[in-house]
Amino acid sequence: VEAPRLGVTFDMAFIDGDKRHYVECYEAVLPLLRQGGFLLADNTLWDGHVTDHDYDHDRGDRNDNNNCNHCRAGYGGRNADRRGVKHMSDKQIEITTAKSAGFCFGVDRAVKLVYQALDAGKQVATLGPIVHNDAVVNDLLSRGARIIEDISELHAGETLIIRAHGVPQQVYDKLAEMETDVIDATCPFVARIHRIVEEQTALGRQILIAGDPKHPEVQGIVGHCAENCTVFQTQAELKCLIDRNYGKGLAIVAQTTYNKLLWGDCIDSLPSDAPDLLVFDTICNATAARQSDADALSRQSDLMLVAGGRHSSNTVKLYDVCSRNCPTWHIENPEELHTEAAAIRACAETVWQNKG
Ligand code: F3S
Express as a percent the part of the chain with pLDDT over 90: 45
Tell me the C-alpha to C-alpha distance, in Å, between residue 16 and each of 32, 135, 175, 326. Answer: 11, 11, 34, 30
Average pLDDT on 27-50 reads 44
* Atom 2 in ligand 1: residue holding the nearest Cα: 106
Q: Which residues pair with 307 in a beta bridge?
A: 10, 331
Average pLDDT on 284-295 reads 89
Give 331 Cα–ligand 1 centroid separation in angstroms: 23
* Contact assessment for residue 348 and residue 6, using Cβ atoms and an 8 Å cutoff: yes
Express as a percent the part of the chain with pLDDT over 70: 70
Q: Ligand 1: which of 100, 104, 313 to mutate, judged by most atoms within 8 Å of the beta carbon? A: 104
Q: Per-residue pLDDT for 18 more than 90?
A: no
Q: How far apart are CA 72 and CA 51, in angstroms?
A: 15
Instruction: Name the phi and psi angles at 154, rounded to 5.
Output: -65, 140
Q: What is the pLDDT of residue 6?
A: 73
Q: What is the pLDDT of residue 330?
A: 86
* Atom 4 in ligand 1: residue holding the nearest Cα: 106
Q: Which residues pair with 304 in a beta bridge?
A: 7, 328
State the closest ligand 1 atom to the C-alpha of 284, by its place in the atom list counted from 1.
3
pLDDT in tens, 74-105: 333 332 333 333 333 344 567 777 888 778 88
Q: What is the pLDDT of residue 208?
A: 97
Give 280 Cα–ligand 1 centroid separation in angstroms: 16
How many residues does this entry show for the chain? 356
- What would you measure as the largest C-alpha separation in the chain, in angstroms? 83
Q: What is the pLDDT of residue 264?
A: 92
Q: Greater confidence, 166 or 102? A: 166
Q: Greater confidence, 136 or 128? A: 128
Taking each helix axis from N to C end, the angle separating 285-300 and 313-323, rounded to the nearest 10 degrees, works out to 30
End-to-end CA distance of the chain: 6
pLDDT in tens, 318-331: 898 899 999 888 88
pLDDT in tens, 189-242: 999 999 999 999 999 999 999 999 999 999 999 999 998 999 999 999 999 999
Q: Per-residue pLDDT for 25 more than 80?
A: no
Q: Ligand 1: which of 163, 256, 259, 291 to mutate, judged by most atoms within 8 Å of the beta carbon? A: 256
* Atom 6 in ligand 1: residue holding the nearest Cα: 106
Q: Which residues line ligand 1 (CB under 6 A)?
A: 104-107, 164, 187, 189-190, 256-257, 284, 286-287
SS3 content of the chain, % helix, strand, coil (to 5): 40, 15, 45
Q: Angle at the Cα of 219 (from 133 to 176), degrees rounded to 5?
A: 90
Q: Greater confidence, 145 or 351? A: 145
Q: Ligand 1: which of 11, 100, 103, 105 to mutate, judged by most atoms within 8 Å of the beta carbon? A: 105
- Catalytic site positions: 217
Average pLDDT on 340-356 reads 68
